[in-house]
Amino acid sequence: MNTTDLIDAVKTRFPDAVTASHDFRGDATVILQRHAVLEVAQFLKDEPVLAMNLLVDLSVVDYSTFGEQASRAFFASSGVPLKPSPLIEDEAPWPGPPEGGRFAVVYHFYSTGHKHRLRLVVPVEEGVDDLDSVTTLWPVADWLEREAWDMFGVSFRGHPNLKRILMYEGFEGHPLRKDYPVNKRQPLIGPLN
Amino acid sequence: MDATTTQAGGSANLETRDMMLNIGPAHPAMHGIIRVVAKLDGEQIEAADVDIGYLHRGFEKMSENVDFNGVMPYTDRLNYVSPLINNVGYCMAVEKLIGLQVPERCHYIRVIVSEISRITDHLTCVGAAAMELGAFTVFLYMIKAREYLWELVEKVTGARLTVSYCRIGGVKADLPDEFAGPCAEAFKETRKVIAEAHSLLTRNRIFVDRMEGTGVISQEDAIAYGITGPFLRSTGSEYDVRKDCPYAVYDQIDFDVAVGSKGDNMDRYLVRMEEMEQSMRIVEAAFEQMPGGPVLVNPETGRPISASEMVDLAKLGDIDAVAGGCAVTGPTLDGAGRDEHSSIATDEKRAFLPPKEDTYGNIEGLMRQFKLVMHGHGVRPPVGEAYFPVEGANGELGFYVVSDGAGYAYRVRVRGPCFAIMTALSKLLVGGSLADMTPTFGSVNMIGGELDR
């Protein structure tokens, strides 16, 4: 299935839940309201024409400072923005970060049978606790969601064991958030047991 | 100590207790730093809690705070057994985001170095796994073969481990002159070692008894756990990023995908052994098909001069001696000293960090280097996001890059193949005996760098 068909398949099945879509650089992307995640994920996995059996990746992007990064050069105009090679087909520019929340939970799916990929983007606000976990469908989501919690503080409803994974227990804050300073240090606390 | 009292069968009602055994973080049977808390009933593992994160260095946070080219040395340290594949993956993700196209020769170079890295990775994995089962000789043989291949890597990149060879839009330097020759010799040695390893292991009673039927996972489970690479292929799935979502020039090269059927440790060993052979096939085919590419420096006039000599001549104002010459830098970087400079990088000068011989040899190169390296300058991709997967030695290695148009990545996410495999580790261990943990963990080929990032 090509990218437009993929997007349409999800759109026609869930017209209310899908808020936007694009295929920037050939990556089929569907932006989804958070209450529909589990339902859509189940559909992606079970629908024979989609058969997205592999949850490749689950990650989070903190869009809170998007486009506001301070210029680090002496002159604000330094650096020349790059344009795509003329050999690449002209396409619509990226529509911008998804609306509806500070964080975007990004799911990458792949179908080993049909060899197509789809990206689901789910905007969530800080402190939201009703984003459903997909651990029941893909056990790999267990650790991936733990990492999302650890790094960004995005919580997942129904996760069996939502605790820190890369950082240690007792670590304060969520290090990949944009408001966590890169040079902040914390004392390393030994294992609790 | 968790004390669950159970009744043993038989006439003598003996009391048995489950034992909690802590293995790691630093343990000789653990390749990296990882902790497994196993609950044992006799020798059988009843539950295993896998604890990771001991090698977390904040790769993703650092990538948001250096410019796009500056991320390259960090990628070396993800999977440090095959760093060139990480380089290629990151570069291609950023190129996809920018919309850059690189010359075909550059693609071929990337394929060649990736496949050499894949062999070194598999040699390390199989060698270490065999050593842990007592086959120390195989380990030594395989490390010997790896040494030949690392010499090749050293010739091409100037470094053995932390290579930083790829650049956004190209590679650091061309392959050395007549590189196919040393490659063929190294492969001859490697093939000899692989044949020796086959004769030492594949029908070895001790090895086979410990590998066969241990650490079994079904294809459905493996996919549900997000497992890719040789681990998934050992279960019978044919998913290989090089075949199914071909990148660079893999679609133009003929090779086979090694597939197992049982999904146990033995199949994973056999898949890796076969993949090494296929990788050598790919490199050999790539050498045959590789185009020369347009020549950037005229061989008639472009004499190689050592960089220090060039600087001295220029200081004295001896323009005639310098004109038309190209500086030779880095005595270890053989490709840079070639008389002919083929086009190995994109024409987009705002993205490609110039080769060192240009930086030191002419003012345009120096300015380009300056513009790309100074704070606030550098590559500024368009606003957007892109995900690019490559076939790493352990499976699908994906980079997800988000840019807000600044000179620094807004977000770089690495999808390391180890992470998914380690998710399944406790499932692989439970039900087996404690001794099975060694071969199973060996076949997982955990690499702390890409697991904990």
The identity of residue A9, as a single letter, is A
Helices assigned H by DSSP within B297-393:
307-315, 319-322, 356-361, 363-373
* pLDDT band, residue B88 (cuts 50/70/90): very high
Contact B400 A59 (CB under 8 A): yes
pLDDT at B324 (0 to 100): 62
Residues B279-297: b if buried by 16+ CB within 10 A, e if exposed? bbbbbbbbbeebeebeebb
pLDDT at A70 (0 to 100): 58
The identity of residue B263, as a single letter, is G
Contact B131, B403 (CB under 8 A): no
Cα B130 from Cα B443, distance rounded (Å): 10
Measured between CB atoms, which of B97, B226, B371 is closest to A25? B97
- The pair of structure tokens assigned to B92 is 């291609």
The mean per-residue pLDDT over the stretch A143-160 comes to 90
pLDDT: which is higher, B307 or B427: B427
**CA B25 centroid distance within chain:** 24
The mean per-residue pLDDT over the stretch B298-311 comes to 58
pLDDT at B115 (0 to 100): 93
Burial class (CB in 10 A: 0-12, 13-18, 19+), B314: middle
**CA A3 centroid distance within chain:** 18
pLDDT at A59 (0 to 100): 92
pLDDT at B140 (0 to 100): 93
3-state class of B45 per DSSP?
strand
Measured between CB atoms, which of A25, A56, A167 is closest to B398? A56
pLDDT at A113 (0 to 100): 87
pLDDT at B300 (0 to 100): 46
Measured between CB atoms, which of B244, B376, B405 is closest to A81? B405
3-state class of B306 per DSSP?
strand
Sign for the pseudo-dihedral over CA of B418, B450, B244, A141: positive
Residue count of chain B: 453
pLDDT at B279 (0 to 100): 92
State the ipTM, two decimals: 0.88
pLDDT at B1 (0 to 100): 43
Pairing of strands B341-342, B295-297: antiparallel
Contact A153, A126 (CB under 8 A): yes
Q: Give the tens place of pLDDT for each residue, A104-137.
A: 999 999 998 888 899 999 999 888 888 889 999 9
Q: Give the tens place of pLDDT for each residue, B147-168.
A: 999 999 988 888 888 888 888 8
Contact B402 A93 (CB under 8 A): no
State whether CATH 1.10.645.10 applies to domain B60-293+378-452. Answer: yes
DSSP code per residue over B375-426 = TT-S--PPSEEEEEEEE-SSSEEEEEEEE-SSSB-SEEEEE-HHHHHHHTHH
Q: What are the chain A neighbours of B398 within 8 Å (beta carbons)?
A: 56-57, 108
CA nearest to B54 within chain A? A166
pLDDT at B331 over 70: no
Contact B126, B272 (CB under 8 A): yes
pLDDT at B299 over 60: no
Cα A102 from Cα A118, distance rounded (Å): 22
Q: Give the tens place of pLDDT for each residue, B126-139.
A: 998 898 888 889 99
Q: Give the tens place of pLDDT for each residue, A24-77.
A: 888 889 999 888 888 899 998 888 888 888 999 999 999 988 877 655 554 545
Q: Does A55 touch chain B (CB under 8 A)?
A: yes
pLDDT at B97 over 90: no
Q: What are the chain A neighbours of B400 within 8 Å (beta carbons)?
A: 57, 59, 106, 108
Instruction: Tell me which residues of chain A, numbers 6 to 35, contact chain B at a CB-CB cutoff of 8 Å.
Output: 24-25, 27, 29
Q: What are the chain B neighbours of A56 within 8 Å (beta carbons)?
A: 226, 389, 396, 398, 415
The identity of residue B355, as a single letter, is P
3-state class of B183 per DSSP?
helix
pLDDT at B406 over 80: no
| Cα–Cα nearest to B407, from A81, A61, A25 | A81
Q: Give the tens place of pLDDT for each residue, B216-263.
A: 999 999 999 999 999 999 998 889 999 888 888 898 898 899 898 888
- Percent of chain B whose predicted confidence (pLDDT) is above 70: 85
- For residues B338, B343, B347 and B350, what is the CA-based torsion angle, rounded to 10 degrees? -30
pLDDT at B443 over 70: yes
pLDDT at B269 over 80: yes
Cα B177 from Cα B185, distance rounded (Å): 15
Domain definitions of chain B by residue range: 5-51, 60-293+378-452
Residue B267 phi, psi dihedral angles, 5° rounding: -65, -35
- The average confidence (pLDDT) of chain B is 82
Helices assigned H by DSSP within A52-177:
141-152
Q: Does A114 touch chain B (CB under 8 A)?
A: no
Cα B71 from Cα B56, distance rounded (Å): 16
pLDDT at B7 (0 to 100): 45
pLDDT at B336 over 80: no
3-state class of B39 per DSSP?
strand
Q: Give the tens place of pLDDT for each residue, B185-212.
A: 999 999 999 999 999 988 888 889 888 8
* pLDDT band, residue B295 (cuts 50/70/90): very low
Q: A78-87, B22-31, B43-52, B368-377: which has the highest mean pLDDT?
A: B43-52
Cα A84 from Cα A97, distance rounded (Å): 20
3-state class of B284 per DSSP?
helix
Q: Does B16 touch chain A (CB under 8 A)?
A: no
